[in-house]
Amino acid sequence: MKIRAITCFVNPAKSNYRSVLVSLGEFIQQATEGLNSAGYQVQSKRLATIPFSKYMKANKVPEATLILQEILSLVGQTGFQYLSLGNSTPDNLKYYSMIPDLLKVDERIFASGSMTTKDGKISLPAIRACAEVIHATAQVTPDGFANLRFSALANVKPYAPFFPAAYSDGSNAAVSVAIEGADLAQSIFKTGTSLADDQKKLCDTLNDHGKRLESILKTIARDHKVDFKGLDFSLAPYPTSDCSIAATIENMGVSKTGSAGSVAAAAVLASTLDQGKWKKVGFNGLMFPVLEDSVLAQRVSDGDLTWKDLLLFSCVCGTGLDTIPLAGDISVDQLTSILTDVAALAVRLHKPLTARLMPVPGKNIWDPTSFNFEYFANSRIMDVRAAGFSGSFSNSKELPITPRQ
């Protein structure tokens, strides 16, 4: 198990944000040292802000870029590696269109766009705005890689530590922590004993880690006047054979991830996380990022796993659609319909979901991907069989869905 990210949160709209950021830099350095000393490898140190529309003010890219460059300078000076600009919101749609240009400014920048409103309603114009961001961002680099740094959000609350979903609600300086823990689950669910025994062992192991991590982080956070928001044990994978959520499902006895029994296995793992006693923030579910899990990538390549399977996992535990490689000629209309399904599930099931879709210029359905990135395992372009909306869908601004009681 590793620490995927220590994510700190700051509000650049406050007059003292520079001094706060310096203090956060001191905090994250001490937190990293404390976690390393306890045997936890920290992979990245990240900073997230409130929605950028609330502190950049200007809705023109040149002015926003100047403000962004100042913040990036401070980010580098204080030891952070990546910056999330927070989530664009449906009450101010014009800011969504700025995201592709802002992502061009620096490869350290991440951003997100909300598909749901503060009161939990689905905004169809916001969903389309997110689709337009994805479509435009696919052209930022020849391989479509920049969409790794954008995600469409539905029902995601502040302080989730995983990027690109991370954003602050504007209150005090804060911290939360993202865990890379698929290897723990994979190692435990290969014993061949009962599912209940393995579930208990995993829960006990996660609770033990949670107690140790909280003890370290709470003390350091208190000393630096930083609010500790919690831990996100979402069993995130890494593209090696020993850290795969798909391999975990297959260790449980399912023939291949995507075949019958996969949803049941995913539900068992999600139930394990539900029983955890640590302070929770973010998702604390299962992540199925196609390009970040070598076994998932292979199952897609073999034709055993579809995007609808992944969406089905979200009904019981998953966090949405993540790093989904798509054909370069996919349209905004098609992207909109995919995102609408994600948002509908999130609202109806009253849970946070995200969509990180990655159209690859020049690639067609079933073409192999060719990314050169440490956190990616290559796969094939997925066939989403999506079409645009017509009729009532195309004439509506909201999707009239209420959470299931």
pLDDT in tens, 322-332: 999 999 999 99
Token pair recorded at residue 113: 């766009």
Mean pLDDT of 236-246: 95
| Of 36-50, 75-89, 385-399, minimum mean pLDDT range | 385-399
pLDDT of residue 392 exceeding 90, the answer is no
> Computed from CA positions of residues 296, 43, 229, 67, in that sequence, does the dihedral angle turn out positive or negative?
negative
**Residue 181, domain member (yes or no):** yes
Taking all residues of the chain, what is their mean pLDDT, rounded to a whole number? 95
Mean pLDDT of 180-197: 91
pLDDT, one tens digit per residue, over 25-48 is: 999 999 999 999 999 999 999 999
- The pLDDT value given to residue 9: 98
pLDDT of residue 250 exceeding 70, the answer is yes
Q: Smallest Cα–Cα separation from 10: which of 83, 89, 64, 81?
A: 83
**Rounded distance, CA 203 to CA 201, Å?**
5
Q: Are strands 2-10 and 150-154 parallel, antiparallel or unpaired?
A: unpaired
320: left (phi over 0), alpha (psi -120 to 50) or beta: left
- The pLDDT value given to residue 191: 72
Side-chain-side CA neighbours of 288 within 13 Å: the count stands at 35
pLDDT of residue 165 exceeding 80, the answer is yes
**Rounded distance, CA 99 to CA 96, Å?**
6
pLDDT of residue 59 exceeding 80, the answer is no
Token pair recorded at residue 399: 């999707």
Burial readout 81-116 (b: 16 or more C-beta within 10 A, e: otherwise) = ebbbbbbbbbeebebbebbbbbbeeeebbbbbbbbb
Residues 6 or more apart whose Cβ sits within 8 Å of residue 25: 77, 78, 79, 80
**Rounded distance, CA 14 to CA 24, Å?**
15
pLDDT of residue 391 exceeding 90, the answer is no
Token pair recorded at residue 198: 């393995």
**Rounded distance, CA 281 to CA 169, Å?**
14
**Residue 310, domain member (yes or no):** yes
pLDDT, one tens digit per residue, over 274-311 is: 999 999 999 999 999 999 999 999 999 999 999 999 99
The torsion defined by the Cα of 168, 215, 43 and 177, in degrees rounded to 10, comes to -20
**Residue 160, domain member (yes or no):** yes
Domain range enclosing 389: 2-399
**Rounded distance, CA 39 to CA 195, Å?**
29
**Rounded distance, CA 1 to CA 280, Å?**
17
**Residue 274, domain member (yes or no):** yes
Residues 6 or more apart whose Cβ sits within 8 Å of residue 185: 202, 235, 245, 248, 269, 272
Angle between helices 124-137 and 332-349 (to 10 degrees): 130
Question: Quick check: 186 and 202 in contact, CB under 8 A?
Answer: no
**Residue 404, domain member (yes or no):** no
- The pLDDT value given to residue 139: 96
Question: Quick check: 351 and 283 in contact, CB under 8 A?
Answer: no
Mean pLDDT of 128-144: 97
Question: Quick check: 182 and 237 in contact, CB under 8 A?
Answer: yes
| H-run or E-run covering 359 | strand 353-360
- Whether the upstream peptide bond of residue 164 has omega within 30° of 0, thus cis, is yes
Q: What percent of the chain has pLDDT over 70?
A: 100
| Of 55-59, 128-132, 199-203, 366-370, minimum mean pLDDT range | 55-59
pLDDT of residue 219 exceeding 90, the answer is yes
Residues 6 or more apart whose Cβ sits within 8 Å of residue 228: 174, 175, 176, 214, 217, 218, 221, 222, 279
Give the pTM.
Answer: 0.96
Q: Smallest Cα–Cα separation from 267: which of 200, 201, 199, 313?
A: 313
pLDDT of residue 315 exceeding 70, the answer is yes
H-type alpha helices, 122-188: 124-137, 182-188
Q: Considering its fold, how many domains does the chain have in total?
A: 1
- The pLDDT value given to residue 343: 97
- The pLDDT value given to residue 385: 87
- The pLDDT value given to residue 405: 81
- The pLDDT value given to residue 58: 66
**Residue 171, domain member (yes or no):** yes
**Residue 207, domain member (yes or no):** yes
Q: What angle do CA 228, 231, 237 make, to 5 degrees?
A: 145
H-type alpha helices, 317-363: 332-349
CATH of the domain at 50: 3.20.70.20
**Residue 352, domain member (yes or no):** yes
pLDDT of residue 192 exceeding 80, the answer is no
Per-residue pLDDT band at 190 (split at 50, 70, 90): confident
**Rounded distance, CA 257 to CA 244, Å?**
11
